[in-house]
Amino acid sequence: MSILKLLPVNKEMPMKKLLIVVPCYNEEEVLPSTLKTMSELLSKMISDKMVSPDSRVHFVDDGSADKTWEILTKACKKDKLFEASKLSRNFGQLGAMLSGIYDNEADLYCTIDSDLQDDPNCIIEMVAKIKNGCEIVYGVRKKRDSDVFLKRITAKLFYKTMALLGVKMIPNHSTFRMMTKRAVEELKKFPERNLFLPAMVPLVGFKSDMVYYDRSPRMAGQTKYSMRKLLA
Ligand code: UDP
Ligand code: MG
């Protein structure tokens, strides 16, 4: 259960350590561009004193078979804003995101897909909302037209079924979100092992908000969701 402790509001809050968690599965084609964008974005946020200088982008290689890990290890040697970890096999996007969040210390956690289809500039707006007292900020896409037909149909069916079962979800939100350490600690208390984050995170409670963006098409490579993975 989430317990709200009344804490004094401090307008001059100290800067928070942000960890941007990026799951990567066979992403050699998109990574060069993603590394550049994320480094520029986080450098700017640090120099604008929006987040603390020890903030990092943490890439999780989810058992890739291509050059993903090679690219990530090289990038980490060159850029001090990057960290990476490699899972022992392919666990799926959720496993990769959770390992990035649960195994690393930070004040704020943001998850974003490695192909940057979700607008990384929204991360700035997310931090601003956290500074205004939110514990969770959801990235919400304005439309779904960049999805392939199969993805649109399965998503629609899925949301309809969940609504029939009484599950409250944020429409058009999937994996792009920011959570404070406090919200993550509450999420960890759920006993479920098969977490479905878009339905579970709202159950954490606390003050939350949304940022809206247009989702771009994948810039390179293919979707990592095969028909089998989508149906699962
Ligand atoms: N991903 C992962 N493990 C998987 C499948 C996907 O870590 O088994 C990552 C992938 O590299 C990407 C994100 O999850 O960063 C979303 O995947 P994708 O872009 O293929 O999904 P789509 O946008 O097609 O829904
Ligand atoms: Mg994608």
In this predicted structure, the answer to whether residue 230 has a pLDDT above a threshold of 90 is: no
Q: What is the pLDDT of residue 226?
A: 75
Q: What is the pLDDT of residue 157?
A: 84
CB neighbours of 110 closer than 8 A, spacing ≥ 6?
Answer: 18, 19, 20, 21, 123, 126, 176, 177, 178, 179
Under DSSP, the state recorded for 215 is P
CB neighbours of 104 closer than 8 A, spacing ≥ 6?
Answer: 19, 21, 58, 83
pLDDT digits (tens, 9 = 90+) for 3-56: 666 655 555 568 999 999 999 999 999 999 999 999 999 999 999 999 999 999
Nearest residue (by CA) to ligand 1, atom 19, is 223
pLDDT category of residue 148 using cuts at 50, 70 and 90: confident
Q: What is the pLDDT of residue 116?
A: 96
Distance (Å, whole) CA 142 – CA 128: 20
Q: Quote the percentage of the chain above a pLDDT of 70.
A: 91
CA 54–ligand 1 middle distance (angstroms): 27
Please tell me the number of the ligand nearest to residue 93's CA: 1
Q: What is the pLDDT of residue 149?
A: 78
CA 146–ligand 2 middle distance (angstroms): 10
Q: Is 115 in the pocket of ligand 1 (CB under 6 A)?
A: yes
Q: Give φ, ψ of 147 to 5 degrees.
A: -80, 150
pLDDT digits (tens, 9 = 90+) for 99-126: 999 999 999 999 999 999 999 999 999 9
